[in-house]
Chains A and B, each alone.
Chain A
Amino acid sequence: MMESKQIKIFHGPQHPGITGNMSVELDLIGETIQRARTHVGYLHRGFEKLVERRTVLQAFTIVCRICVPEPDPNEENFARAVEGLAGITISERAQYIRVMVQEMSRLAAQLLWMGGQSGSIGLGTVGQWSLYDRDLILDLFEQLTGGRVYHMYTFPGGVRRDLPAGFLLRLSELLDYLDKQLPRYDKIFFDNATFRTRAIGTGVIDSDTALERGYVGQALRGCGIERDLRRDNPYLVYDRLAFDIPTFDGGDVYSRALVRREEMRQSIRILRQVIAQMPEEGLVMQKLPKHRKFTLPKDDIYVATESARGEFGYYMAGDGSAHIRRMQVKGPSLIHGFTLLEPLLEGEELSNVALIMNSLGICPPEIER
């Protein structure tokens, strides 16, 4: 065997193949990774401290910044945690609107993921298409909430404003368009020979320990374990909607990609049902008790939402004042980025790092908050 030197490189933070602003320290012999260590902290803003300084009303505007690619699960979690602590039940119409926001956000996040995943193996065209389609969803968000990326729409007690006129019609038009578009993505991306050869058998997750180690989302469903919070721990009106939970057995990058591909179809299916079932009338926003002088009781709660990348949970404790005593964010990336990614990269080739990181959907801002 040829003697080779061990070199250490930092994959990131200034690197086109990294998901966000983080870095992976790699020890290499030749092209093979011997040891990988994740480094985060480049995006630390101290959210949990800032939230403690603000009242509940004020804190709600900051939580959507915790995860940039999909801010809506954060708002949903925050709203549900406050509602759970204060004992508020929201109207049915507001619940349907929230489900709609969640699913639109999931679709947008999956399309963004598709751009990143294809970009990591050099398929630029897919990103050009999928980001265009994501932008159409963002346009709808702009009409609904007034903001493209940060919506600040889901509020404890409901949502901040009612649907604009003709919104559901425009949404179903978009769904028809996406229905036509998804088979084209199969052609260009999921059945693409380059992607298949690179992805099949790469980054295989051990399915035996997956549950115990707390993996979530596609990491579980990609190795054949059928878990989805929307069915297992239902929130909002998800128990009234019919959808399947796609699973694939490979445990590799390709299986996770196929899971996401199916999930986009399921999101469209859920959105169609929401459009059909949404009550015409109903209060969308319920005033909080004592409105602007709202206080949280001295209690704690944990709520979780199925985001596009897996379980997104908030622990929240109130102390009887208008401020939150403690809010801890548990994103899917904390475990995926350390406990899962580090061993997974060992023995892989350097060129597969971006591929694997993208398929796990690691998003650094939620690791370090």
Chain B
Amino acid sequence: MNALTTRYDVTEKNPRLFSIEVDTRDAWREAIDFVTTHTAFVTLSQITCADWIEEEVFRLTYLFTDRARSQNLMVQLPIRRDGEGLPSLSNRFPQAEVMERDLHEMYGIPFEGNDTLYPFVLEGWTDLPPLRREFDTLAYVHAHYDFQQGREDNKDVKVEQKRRREEAKRLKAEQEEASHDGE
């Protein structure tokens, strides 16, 4: 841990979770090398991607766990959303292969050097990769599937309340008018 803090700016998220941020691919490569050789964080346990569409980046998180399984370290790196790839880690961590395959399918990130990037969970998928923010799942559903009929009489309650209020007002006014006429 000490070796890490002297070299990187480590953010402590909680006593057992730390994160370091890198900017470039080279720095990322270096950080992964450093973390796995000079610190106790030897297990790659997860690769995550979060889509920050406003900033035009994917934020990739490589989660490392130490030998005692008591602390976690996140190595975070932003990459461009327009098809920028990263070198695959599958040579060094066999488990990275399937994680990269998953991310490739869900976000369309090409991992260079991973030759298993064929379809993983989707079959015959031709649309956008589904976890990208611009993919609208509800629009896709309405275009491809039908729902059960018989629910068209659903009312918008706000509209209904307003209509009834106005109706009541009108009735009241009519009644008053009628009573005036009576006089």
Interface residues of A (CB under 8 A from B): 40-41, 44, 46, 48-50, 52-53, 84, 211-214, 227, 229, 232-233, 299-302, 304, 311, 313, 315, 317, 319, 325-326, 328, 330, 334-335, 338-339, 368
What are the residues of chain B within 8 A of A233 when measuring CB–CB? Answer: 16, 69-71
What are the residues of chain A within 8 A of B48 when measuring CB–CB? Answer: 315, 326, 328
Instruction: For residue A318, give the distance in angstroms from its CB to the closest CB of chain B.
Output: 10
102-155 of chain B: CB within 8 A of chain A:
102, 106, 119-123, 130-131, 133, 135, 137-138
Instruction: For residue B139, give the distance in angstroms from its CB to the closest CB of chain A.
Output: 12
Contact of B51 among A213, A227, A326 (CB under 8 A): A326
Say yes or no for B95: interface residue by CB 8 A criterion.
yes
Interface residues of B (CB under 8 A from A): 13-14, 16-17, 19, 42-46, 48-52, 59, 61, 63, 65, 67-72, 74, 93-95, 97-99, 102, 106, 119-123, 130-131, 133, 135, 137-138
Indicate if the CB atoms of A41 and B120 lie closer than 8 Å: yes
What are the residues of chain B within 8 A of A44 when measuring CB–CB? Answer: 121-122
Indicate if the CB atoms of A330 and B45 lie closer than 8 Å: yes
What are the residues of chain B within 8 A of A313 when measuring CB–CB? Answer: 45-46, 63
Indicate if the CB atoms of B98 and A338 lie closer than 8 Å: yes
What are the residues of chain B within 8 A of A335 when measuring CB–CB? Answer: 45, 95, 98
What are the residues of chain A within 8 A of B51 when measuring CB–CB? Answer: 325-326
Indicate if the CB atoms of A302 and B43 lie closer than 8 Å: no
Q: How far is the CA of A199 from the CA of B56 in the complex (A)?
A: 52
Contact of B42 among A211, A301, A334, A338 (CB under 8 A): A211
Q: How far is the CA of A53 from the CA of B133 in the complex (A)?
A: 10
Excluding A41-B119, A233-B16, A300-B13, 17 further A-B contacts by CB distance (< 8 Å) are A40-B120, A41-B120, A46-B130, A46-B131, A53-B137, A213-B93, A214-B65, A229-B69, A233-B71, A302-B72, A311-B45, A311-B69, A326-B49, A330-B63, A335-B45, A339-B98, A368-B120
Indicate if the CB atoms of B63 and A212 lie closer than 8 Å: no
Q: How far is the CA of A328 from the CA of B68 in the complex (A)?
A: 23
